[in-house]
Amino acid sequence: AQSVTQPDIHITVSEGASLELRCNYSYGATPYLFWYVQSPGQGLQLLLKYFSGDTLVQGIKGFEAEFKRSQSSFNLRKPSVHWSDAAEYFCAVGATGGGNKLTFGTGTQLKVEL
Amino acid sequence: EPEVTQTPSHQVTQMGQEVILRCVPISNHLYFYWYRQILGQKVEFLVSFYNNEISEKSEIFDDQFSVERPDGSNFTLKIRSTKLEDSAMYFCASSAANNQPQHFGDGTRLSIL
């Protein structure tokens, strides 16, 4: 069964500082991997995705993530955080066949200090 | 940019009543999904739907739940006899193909009294 672990429940960074949110997955084959962001009262917005190919993927709002098969990781990074990045971030793994369900991690709540 | 729309944004229902949550997926998408998020917990898969039938469902999606695509634009989730533990945010999503990203609506907050 597929699973996702986000070990950090809360992270606080200063505006302008770099950010890395950790994500580890478990899946029997090459996975589809996603990062979504959720602002309070809002839905899930797709930040970026990895399906295949280049292991460093670029997303919206200046975010990037790197797929490392050897570490079963897909960490999200941003070189300089803005106050508007404060939100909850979810890593998800998608099945590569069948119903294509997404399995989400428990999320990381990001707080940005001004 | 096209988006998934969900109505209502908030639904309050008495325990034991039936509730229907509505979604309009992105128009050229073929795959449809429902997820739920209980307050403070992670987003959980309920069901996926393609070609007018369920592709996959989770153990949460028991006989009290059903999905339907009644016309060419709507995708609904029905809970036949609601329980207190059905209180959650319900998200609809759609994708163009089963190897394409899922796009989510803003959710319906369901409160069971």
Tens digit of pLDDT at every position of chain B (113 positions): 779 999 999 999 999 999 999 999 999 999 999 999 999 888 999 999 999 999 999 999 999 999 999 887 899 999 999 999 999 999 999 999 877 889 999 999 999 99
Whether the pLDDT of residue A65 is over 60: the answer is yes
E strand or H helix at B50: strand B43-50
pLDDT at position B104 = 94
Average of per-residue pLDDT values in chain A: 92
Under an 8 A CB cutoff, do A101 and B58 touch? Answer: yes
Band of the pLDDT at A28, cuts 50, 70, 90? confident
Residue A29 vs residue A3, higher pLDDT: A3
Distance from CA of A108 to the nearest CA of B (A): 10
Task: Reduce the DSSP state of residue A75 to 3 states and report it.
Answer: strand
Q: How many whole angstroms separate alpha carbon B20 and alpha carbon A74?
A: 36
Band of the pLDDT at A98, cuts 50, 70, 90? low
Mean pLDDT of A17-37: 92
Q: Which residues of chain A lie closer than 8 angstroms to B104, CB-CB?
A: 36, 43-46
Q: Which residue of B has its CA nearest to A109?
A: B40
pLDDT at position A97 = 61
Under an 8 A CB cutoff, do B101 and A100 touch? Answer: no
CB < 8 Å from A in window 31-90 of B: 31, 33, 35, 41-45, 48, 50, 55-58
Under an 8 A CB cutoff, do A44 and B43 touch? Answer: yes
Q: Which of A78, A93, A70 is nearest to A21 (CA)?
A: A78
Q: Which residue of B has its CA nearest to A6?
A: B42
> Which of B43, B59, B67 is best to mutate for the A interface (most A CBs within 10 A)?
B43
pLDDT at position B108 = 96
Q: Kindly tell me the burial class for residue B55, based on how many C-beta atoms sit within 10 Å of its own C-beta (0-12, 13-18, 19 or more).
A: middle
Q: Which residue of B has its CA nearest to A96?
A: B99
Whether the pLDDT of residue A19 is over 90: the answer is yes
pLDDT at position A99 = 61
Q: Which of A15, A2, A11, A1 is nearest to A75 (CA)?
A: A11
Under an 8 A CB cutoff, do A102 and B45 touch? Answer: yes
pLDDT at position A42 = 83
Under an 8 A CB cutoff, do A98 and B55 touch? Answer: yes
